[in-house]
Amino acid sequence: MKIGIPKETANGERRVALVPDTVSTLVSSGMEVMVESGAGLEANFSDDMYREAGAVLLPDAVSLFGSAEVILKVQGPSINDAQNKHEVDLMADGATLISFLQPLTNLDLVKKLKAKGITSFSMDTVPRIARAQSMDALSSMSSIAGYKAAIMAANSLAKYFPMMITAAGTYAPAKGLVLGAGVAGLQAIATAKRLGAVLKAFDVRAVVKEQVESLGATFVGLTEDEKTEDAGGYAKELAEEAQRKERELLHGYSKEADFIISTALIPGRPAPLLITEDMVKDMRAGSIIVDIAAETGGNCELTEPGAEIVKYGVTIHGPLNLPSSMPVHASQMYARNISSLFLHLVKDNQFNLDFNDAITNGCCITHQGNVVHGPTKALLEEGDVR
């Protein structure tokens, strides 16, 4: 089986789908791994390192996409500017693709994959079950994002994070508020706590209270009157009245915070609005907001995705693709995730797709010219009806 690892072309993307260690593992199991020259350079993995791992280096995307039976990527296929062609058009008919596809918000891409007969698997739809932990790239990348968000907050804040006792006086620790206690939020709490800040954390899911407290933060905002978690363990979008009450609660906590790290996301939907403009107005001058939900609109009403702005004396960061800012470890973690999923789908160097398996069924988007992912199929059918 021929596996292709192209150079990522998305703007600002520095990760690579496989690192030399995972290439070596696949080669030793009988796979042929082809890597586009320069694919790993942004993550400090040279072409020579891939050659030593047993990969075949190819000079460009055309030769790689045209030769590979399986394409492993980080970002979903897009226009390759060097070739002036869409990467799906460069793929062989009936090939297999594994990457982050975000199918619920990329329906046009799903249609292209279907038309090309591509069997595709999306890393962001791997179910959160015990058997799939080694394949859970969302958690891996969210952990990096949470860590980096805490570092950004500390770097931007014009105060110490920890309490400091000096000859020039004693200075209180910074007070932080983390919104969303998923993987990113918990890592943000842990990192900020290690730096010495005092933390509060908000989430609509009561089940995360114990995890928040185990990291030394105070849990706030317990919601008990409606179901707040979906079957996959993600927060659900709440009714408008419940959201209004939560924003009122957060308004009080935001006034006390030196920094806020917001991480709340709803799969396939815009990020929930948790920080209004009025809340920002009432924050202390010099406070910091790091909104890592910026890619899906942001949790803060004033967030500008991809920008750092100052409003009412508050610095608001809207970072995009934080995992790519740490490409070495992000690539190593992602490579382990994607290779674990790939090996789960393969037996004796051939794909052995069992759609009764929760992992395969959960992350397969298109197969044999059909859309087989239930939520994506429903969205497409809804669009056709309209």
Neighbouring C-beta atoms of residue 383, cutoff 10 Å: 10
Q: Where are the alpha helices (DSSP H) in 179-256?
A: 183-194, 209-214, 240-256
Cα 253 to its chain centre, rounded Å, is: 27
Rg (the chain; Cα; Å)? 22
CA-CA distance, 76 to 66, in Å (whole number)? 17
CA-CA distance, 381 to 360, in Å (whole number)? 22
In the set 234, 243, 282, 312, the catalytic residue is: 234
In the set 24, 120, 124, 136, the catalytic residue is: 136
Residue 128 bears catalytic tag:
yes
In the set 99, 120, 122, 139, the catalytic residue is: 139
In the set 46, 133, 214, 368, the catalytic residue is: 133
Residue 156 bears catalytic tag:
no
Residue 24 bears catalytic tag:
no
Residue 136 bears catalytic tag:
yes
CA-CA distance, 18 to 339, in Å (whole number)? 8
DSSP annotation of 172: P
Helix (H) / strand (E) containing 63: helix 61-67
In the set 21, 51, 128, 134, the catalytic residue is: 128
CA-CA distance, 22 to 61, in Å (whole number)? 21
Residue 139 bears catalytic tag:
yes
Q: List residues with catalytic annotation.
A: 128, 133, 136, 139, 234
